[in-house]
Amino acid sequence: MTDRITVSAASADDAPAMPSWVGQDSVTYAQAGVDTAEGARAVDAIKQSVQSTRRPEVIGDIGGFGGLFSIAAAKDMDDPILVSGTDGVGTKLQVAKMAGKHDTVGIDLVAMCVNDILATGAEPLFFLDYIAVGKLKSEAVAEIVGGIAEGCRQAGCALIGGEMAEHPGVMDPEEYDLSGFSVGVVDRARMLDPENVTEGDVLLGLASSGLHSNGYSLARKVCLEGRTHYEVRLPQSLLGGESVQDALLEPTRIYVKSVHTALTNHPHAVHALAHITGGGITENLNRALPSHLDAQVDIGSWTMKPIIPFVCRAAKLSESEALKTFNMGLGLVLIVDAAAVDSVEHTLQEAGEEVFRVGHVVAGSGAVRYTNEGALLHDVLVEEEEENQPVTPIEQRTQERDVFYEEEESD
């Protein structure tokens, strides 16, 4: 027989507290933690930013239940294909929160989406965002959306709507997260496709602006963990005088306009394109290859922003590990017909891109292979004897306003 056990919640140590609303005549949405009036102020605050991204195809304004966009852009295409992409900013947001600087992560959000759909040759048409916050503050949201609008202007797409969601009790008041969604269009006859790639094609790499929005869990761990806010704001010689904080917050480069200029001016010259994101060159360039060809990448044939070797050095990464973690200086890699590579390269340079010839396509099995291995990080990796150097305790560094701990550059 089962014994009956009686528990008195009122006397238990872990008994829940009496609900805060007990004794009140009613409980409003605002008392529950959601301020609809602040939400309305936030919408008003972002209207100018949204309108700055407007394209002729946009119908109406924000505030409706759905964003309206005419498909007139596709009317001259024989077989228009809609291409969509969605992404977020990841833990780079933690750097923005630490810095109290929120006007650039919106650019990252747009970049991660539009650069992805660009890999098909599509033109991004419109963008929508989703902002989840612990406590809605119209000024902070306006700052974030201002960055999203700047990203949309750089990409030439319209910000036609989004959602601001307040999550009291789920997120801390100062916390927020971002996600985005973009739609573009490309004529099927002009689509970039790995099946178009042929042996002998040339790999053109476009310079990244830094880490972009990938690898930040590692970057934060080795560059920010155990550091004071003062330290990460100090200029660093290894970063060309820039601070760690500013270098980590450099927004992702948006390549849409320059690449579309090349695609328009040189039809069918670009066969495929890889957006170098999480997984680095090793695990993204192969996505632009057919199963019977390899990309042979020549290590050392390009340069990179100082923050990239800085993080690799701090993490003591091997070159092979670095190449599958960070973009290592290449935000996009275009696979181009060898006969047209000079013209495509010139057009991209005229459009403002820093372009590198980083290799070519060879027979293989759909993989990325490297030549001149060891040349990418040989002059920045920490030597074995330099490891395990003592670091002054954080309390003492704060008191003495000490500099960010860094090794001297070797001669």
Please report, for the chain, the start and end positions of each structural domain, with discontinuous segments joined by +: 35-70+77-191, 193-387
* Average pLDDT of adjacent 10-residue blocks, the chain of 411 residues: 57 62 62 59 68 87 83 89 96 94 96 98 96 86 93 96 87 93 97 98 98 97 92 94 97 98 98 97 98 97 96 94 97 98 98 98 98 79 43 52 44 42
Contact indicator for 88, 108 with CB cutoff of 8 Å: no
Q: Quick one: how far is CA 353 from the chain centroid?
A: 18
> Does the domain made of 35-70+77-191 have the CATH classification 3.30.1330.10?
yes
pLDDT in the model for residue 8: 56
**Rg from Cα positions in the chain:** 25
The pLDDT, as a whole number, for residue 78 is 93
What is residue 106's predicted lDDT score, i.e. its pLDDT? 97
- Model pLDDT, residue 65: 83
What is the homologous superfamily of the domain 193-387 according to CATH? PurM-like C-terminal domain (3.90.650.10)
Burial annotation 27-66 (CB, 10 A radius, 16+ → b, else e): eeeeeeebbeebbebbbebbeebbeebebebbeeeeeeee
pLDDT at 121: 98
Residues whose CB falls within 8 Å of the CB of residue 323, separated by 6 or more in sequence, listed in order: 280, 281, 282, 370, 376
Q: What is the rounded end-to-end Cα distance, in angstroms, of the chain?
A: 82
What pTM was estimated for this model as a whole? 0.85
